[in-house]
Amino acid sequence: MSSLQDGQPYILVADDDPLMIRSLRIILRTCGLEVVGVSDGAAALQQIRSHKPRIAILDVMMARMSGLDLCQVVKSDETLSDIHVILLTARAMPSERQQGLDAGADAYITKPFANAELVTQVRKALGIYETATPSTPGSAPAS
């Protein structure tokens, strides 16, 4: 199951910054995707287990469970491992990027980021290879 109750596939966004969740919701809705936002890793895991998303976009630094820990849990669970995990973080050191990929992340994007970069990763995860870019100009802020 990779959808909410109405059958619409959705993306889970887990970030402790409500403005980041709002920004991502706006960006991803331009792609016609439903977005559910939660503010910490434990809430994200609960949401993932109750309504499996197609994609989980996770901040690395969150309360109650880090994005890295959540990624490892998701990727080590046979029933969840097909969820495409994108880590979205201000942590930009090469060693931190490698740590994220080692945790099982399918993509690692640093904040601030270009909207087109995120949309490209989401479309790639969904198997959509269009060259169109989102109608929301600019970049999302770092947090």
Predicted pLDDT at 29: 87
Report the helix count and the strand count for the chain, using DSSP H and E.
5, 7
pLDDT in tens, 79-96: 999 999 999 999 889 899
Secondary structure of residue 63 in the 3-state scheme: coil
Q: State the CATH number of the domain containing residue 115.
A: 3.40.50.2300
User: Would 138 be classed as within a structural domain?
Assistant: no
Average pLDDT across the chain, whole number? 87
Domain assignment present for 140? no
**Domain range for residue 15?**
10-131
Which carries the bigger pLDDT value, residue 47 or residue 143? 47
Choose among 124, 90, 128: nearest CA to 109. 90
Does residue 141 fall inside a structural domain? no
Indicate if the pLDDT at residue 143 is higher than 60.
no
Residue 1 has pLDDT above 90, yes or no: no
The widest CA-to-CA distance across the chain, in whole angstroms, is 41
pLDDT confidence tier of residue 4, bands split at 50, 70 and 90: low
Average pLDDT over residues 37-46: 97
pTM: 0.84
Helix (H) or strand (E) holding 61, with range, is none
Asked if residue 105 belongs to a domain, the reply is yes
Q: How many domains does the chain have?
A: 1
Residue 4 lies in a domain: no
Percentage, residues of the chain above pLDDT 90? 72
- Torsion angles phi and psi, residue 63, rounded to 5: -75, 160
Q: What is the per-residue pLDDT across 107-137, written as a single tens digit (0 to 9) for each?
A: 999 999 999 999 999 999 988 755 444 444 4
